[in-house]
Amino acid sequence: MAGMAETGLTRFPVVRREDPRHLEGMVSLTDALKARARILDAERRRERFLSLRLAFPRYRAVAPKSARDLPRAASTEDPAERRAADD
């Protein structure tokens, strides 16, 4: 984009390094700006995610190790049966 700004041109040829005479295509200022906009959007999303993790560090989603680690809901089963199942 610096070359475009210096020369005032809005389109540049894309050539191979090994053979600069072989034209691969053209890149325009619009193409470069669209690519930059995608990069900025991705950076914003990462920053938003990181700021949420920094603001709420203890609320990270971690899967329980086993069903035993899950909180128990109030149930009608006999407490003796529950103790037997835990052992």
Tokens of 54: 């920094």
Query: At 19, is the secondary structure helix, strand, or coil?
Result: coil
Most confident region among 26-30, 53-57, 66-70, 80-84 by mean pLDDT: 26-30
pTM of the model: 0.45
| Average pLDDT value for residue range 8-25 | 91
Q: Residue 19 — very low, low, confident or very high, per pLDDT cuts 50/70/90?
A: very high
| φ, ψ (nearest 5 deg) of residue 65 | -70, -35
Q: Considering the chain, what is the average pLDDT of its residues?
A: 76
For 24-51, the pLDDT digits (tens) are 999 999 999 999 999 999 888 877 766 6
